[in-house]
Amino acid sequence: MGHAVRNKLVFTIKDKCRVCYTCVRECPVKAIKINNGQAEVISERCIGCGNCVKVCSQGAKVFLDSKSEVGTLLSSEKKVIACVAPSFPAEFSDIKDYQILVGMIKRLGFNKVVEVAFGADLIASEYRQMIDSDDKKPYISSDCPSIVYYIEHYHPNLVQNLAPIASPMVAVTRVIRKEYGDVKVVFIGPCIAKKAESDEVDEGITFKELRELFQLNQIKPEDVIASDFDPPRSGKGAVFPVDRGLIQAIDKNDDLTDGRILTASGKDNFKEIISEFESGEIDCKYMELLCCKGCIMGPGMTNKNQRYLKRNLISSYVQQKMDNFDQEEWQANIDKFSDLDLSQSFNPSDRRELIPSSESVNKVLVSMGKKKPSDFLNCGACGYNTCKEHAIAIVQGHAETEMCLPFAIEKLHKSIEDLNISNGNLEDARIALKQSEKLANMGQLSAGIAHELNNPLGVITMYSNILKEETTKDNPMYHDLELIVDQTERCKKIVGGLLNFARKNQVKKIETNLENFVIRSTESIVIPQNVKLKVEVDLKDPIIMIDQDQMMQVLTNLEKNAIEAMPDGGMLTVKVDDTESNFKIHIQDTGVGIPKENMDKLFTPFFTTKKLGKGTGLGLPLVYGIVKMHKGQINVISNTDIDKGVTGTTFIIDVPKF
């Protein structure tokens, strides 16, 4: 125990940590590191205040357990004496009489149970002398070990201002050793930091651990004999555990009109007063500082709340005590130990970290999207008061950028957006896949049928032609034979279309001048008199790579469809333009347009609205397949409603140039 456990006071149970950063926020010395989304205690930085233990709702922060060490002492040959901190009435309010508590502690095997408050009585007079002396030097109380660690590590220049007086625990331990000789001393109190305060004390447990020991040993209040504290009994030192308790014990006060005595308790207050004092902003004779808001709020208490109820419990205990106070006996004891050495020395042990360069801090800030003043929300969600403090901790390796809530929310929004986009892409891909699957199936079927039909069709064509040639025109059979020949030709055309469509396409891209190519496509179709053709070319660079045969089929099919949609004439516009990477061809007509209900059937094989013998419904599926093979897109815009403007359809293909 003692200094040996200095760096083992508090640790994290990683599995329980839900990374809420509350411990980071509450730690007065930022001794909590977030590493891969897990909080861990940086033991060299920790001052054992136990704030993190108090605030962690998940029980992920725990303190050093000394029950088994105490058990070993109790089962040894040595006499073991318990010294109980004066905050006990605030913890054991469930035990009606303090003498029962003393009895229970004795039942655990302790030979004597002494009040730490007597140590407080002794040092109170030391403090009184110090404050009343002519010495101009300002002093800081040294009875709270966390405050002492804080000053030793983070304000080493102020170590010389720590009151060179032992704490009540150490004072009473010296009393016990003088009174009872060679014994082991165990401190029982509300404090974690006390476990590491002094090598003079053998072990230290918290009230929480004491309760656990009672439970382990099945010690119940009703089973024990009441017993008073062993001498020497305390006086007003029993008020120590509330904030401003020490100055009350020495009949002083932090009167505003005086200003010589300042008090501060709680993690923000003590830091503020120390920094103001160090910078020379405040001037005083004595500062009474406590890390918790009174020892009654210590992390070793089982009830972490109800500060005022606890104050009341202490007051009524002290009142009851003072009612039965034997002043003479007390004074005799004080006199008896008046020559006891109550001095204490402290050593600076600087653990401050270097402040990183502003460039490295700025770099981190920028990486969290904090560039202009309005980006610095200083919301505190990360556990640090300001964005800058957070960035410094990141550079020091104690924190992570992910801890910034606004940054994380923004990232999340971005991910949701990306997810929506990829969902959309996925849906498009799914539809395209379905279409190509359908086409592939149709293709296989068509190829099979076409292949089988081709031969018999050839035979029919040949024989019907022979018969037709052998028949004179005035023969009544001639007209019928002519019909057979015509219809067989039509069948061959359909079969040819099918074979075309089903062909296992391979794209053979060659360098092509797009402008010439488009013009050639319009020249290879028959344009009726009543249809006007307009070709508009706006190209940055006309050179593209395409499979010319296939792309020619695309253009001529679309152009033919456009012409067929304008039986009463109109305008066919072929527009070509490009970007760096893609070219676009618009084939626009002023025809009848495509009704909404037909829009999603356009690319289905055999879908046609044309008269029997006119359409095969294989043009657009072929176009679609070829455009896809070129990794392009095809879109249709159409209007059938004259009230909404000129009717007609535009097919737009958008294909990568290379």
- Positions in 236-295 near ligand ADP (CB under 6 A): none
Containing H/E element for 360?
A: helix 358-367
Pick what 594 binds: Mg ion, ligand ADP, none; C-beta below 5 to 8 Å, kind-dependent. Answer: ligand ADP
Pick what 198 binds: Mg ion, ligand ADP, none; C-beta below 5 to 8 Å, kind-dependent. Answer: none
Among 140, 589, 627, 634, binds ligand ADP (CB under 6 A): 589
Instruction: Choose the stretch contacting Mg ion; rule: CB under 5 A; options: 109-117, 483-491, 557-565, 581-589.
Output: 557-565
Residues 343-372 as x/- pattern, contact with Mg ion by CB under 5 A: ------------------------------
Residues 514-553 as x/- pattern, contact with Mg ion by CB under 5 A: ----------------------------------------
In whole angstroms, the minimum distance from the beta carbon of 509 to Mg ion comes to: 25
Q: Of the two residues 461 and 609, which places its CB atom closer to ligand ADP in the complex?
A: 609
Pick what 606 binds: Mg ion, ligand ADP, none; C-beta below 5 to 8 Å, kind-dependent. Answer: none
Instruction: Choose the stretch contacting ligand ADP; rule: CB under 6 A; options: 68-76, 273-281, 392-400, 560-568.
Output: 560-568
In whole angstroms, the minimum distance from the beta carbon of 446 to Mg ion comes to: 16
CB 90 within 8 A of CB 241: yes
443 binds ligand ADP (CB under 6 A): no
How many residues of this chain interact with Mg ion, rule: CB under 5 A? 2
CA distance to 85, 366, 432, 631, per residue, from 546 (Å): 91, 46, 21, 11
Q: Of the two residues 111 and 639, which places its CB atom closer to ligand ADP in the complex?
A: 639
Cα distance from N-terminal residue to C-terminal residue, the chain: 77
- Positions in 514-543 near ligand ADP (CB under 6 A): none
The count of residues in the chain is 658
For 543, other C-beta atoms within 10 Å of its C-beta total: 14
26 binds ligand ADP (CB under 6 A): no
CB neighbour class for 92 (10 Å; exposed up to 12, middle 13-18, buried from 19): buried
Give the chain's largest Cα–Cα span: 156
Pick what 206 binds: ligand ADP, Mg ion, none; C-beta below 5 to 8 Å, kind-dependent. Answer: none
- Give the pairing type, strands 184-189 and 80-84: parallel
Question: Considering only CA atoms, which of 511, 599, 603 is closest in space to residue 557?
Answer: 603
Question: Considering only CA atoms, which of 607, 585, 606 is closest in space to residue 595?
Answer: 607
Residue with tokens 């360098």: 511
CA distance 485 to 494: 14
In whole angstroms, the minimum distance from the beta carbon of 617 to ligand ADP comes to: 4
Question: Considering only CA atoms, which of 206, 196, 189, 224 is closest in space to residue 67?
Answer: 206
Residue with tokens 């419990």: 313
In whole angstroms, the minimum distance from the beta carbon of 411 to ligand ADP comes to: 47
Order of strands, sheet of 184-189, starting from the edge strand that comes earlier in the sequence: 112-115, 80-84, 184-189, 203-206
- Positions in 591-650 near ligand ADP (CB under 6 A): 591-592, 594, 602, 607-610, 615-617, 619-620, 649
Pick what 591 binds: ligand ADP, Mg ion, none; C-beta below 5 to 8 Å, kind-dependent. Answer: ligand ADP
Apex 429 CA angle, 424 and 434, nearest 5: 130
Pick what 589 binds: Mg ion, ligand ADP, none; C-beta below 5 to 8 Å, kind-dependent. Answer: ligand ADP
562 binds ligand ADP (CB under 6 A): yes
561 binds Mg ion (CB under 5 A): yes
In whole angstroms, the minimum distance from the beta carbon of 542 to Mg ion comes to: 27
Q: Of the two residues 298 and 605, which places its CB atom closer to Mg ion in the complex?
A: 605
**What DSSP assignment string belongs to 484-536?**
HHHHHHHHHHHHHHHHHHHS------EEEEHHHHHHHHHHTS---TTEEEEEE
Q: Whose CB is nearest to Mg ion?
A: 619
Q: Of the two residues 553 and 616, which places its CB atom closer to ligand ADP in the complex?
A: 616
In whole angstroms, the minimum distance from the beta carbon of 618 to Mg ion comes to: 8
Question: Considering only CA atoms, which of 647, 534, 529, 650 is closest in space to residue 591?
Answer: 647
Backbone dihedral region for residue 579 (phi beyond 0: left; psi -120 to 50: alpha; all else: beta): beta
CA distance to 16, 93, 102, 207, 463, per residue, from 221 (Å): 34, 12, 10, 16, 120
How many residues of this chain interact with ligand ADP, rule: CB under 6 A? 19
Q: Of the two residues 488 and 638, which places its CB atom closer to ligand ADP in the complex?
A: 638
Residues 564-603 as x/- pattern, contact with Mg ion by CB under 5 A: ----------------------------------------
At 18, is the secondary structure helix, strand, or coil? coil
Pick what 617 binds: Mg ion, ligand ADP, none; C-beta below 5 to 8 Å, kind-dependent. Answer: ligand ADP
Q: Of the two residues 173 and 561, which places its CB atom closer to Mg ion in the complex?
A: 561
User: Looking at the DSSP assignment, which residues form a beta bridge with residue 583?
Assistant: 578, 655
Pick what 221 binds: ligand ADP, Mg ion, none; C-beta below 5 to 8 Å, kind-dependent. Answer: none
Residue 62: phi, psi to the nearest 5?
-130, 160
Q: Of the two residues 59 and 613, which places its CB atom closer to ligand ADP in the complex?
A: 613
Structural Rg of the chain based on CA atoms = 47
Q: Of the two residues 260 and 610, which places its CB atom closer to ligand ADP in the complex?
A: 610
Q: Helix count (H) and strand count (E) of the chain?
A: 20, 18
Residue 594: phi, psi to the nearest 5?
-115, 120
Can you give 552-581 as a three-state secondary structure string? HHHHHHHHHHHHHCCCCCEEEEEEEEECCC
Question: Considering only CA atoms, which of 330, 86, 78 is closest in space to residue 202?
Answer: 78
In whole angstroms, the minimum distance from the beta carbon of 647 to ligand ADP comes to: 9
Q: Of the two residues 60 and 502, which places its CB atom closer to ligand ADP in the complex?
A: 502
Residue with tokens 């199936």: 441
Q: Of the two residues 142 and 561, which places its CB atom closer to Mg ion in the complex?
A: 561
In whole angstroms, the minimum distance from the beta carbon of 551 to Mg ion comes to: 16
Q: Whose CB is nearest to ligand ADP?
A: 619
245 binds Mg ion (CB under 5 A): no
In whole angstroms, the minimum distance from the beta carbon of 530 to ligand ADP comes to: 16
Residues 605-634 as x/- pattern, contact with Mg ion by CB under 5 A: --------------x---------------
In whole angstroms, the minimum distance from the beta carbon of 619 to ligand ADP comes to: 3
Backbone dihedral region for residue 326 (phi beyond 0: left; psi -120 to 50: alpha; all else: beta): beta
Chain contacts with Mg ion (rule: CB under 5 A): 561, 619
Chain contacts with ligand ADP (rule: CB under 6 A): 557, 561-562, 565, 589, 591-592, 594, 602, 607-610, 615-617, 619-620, 649
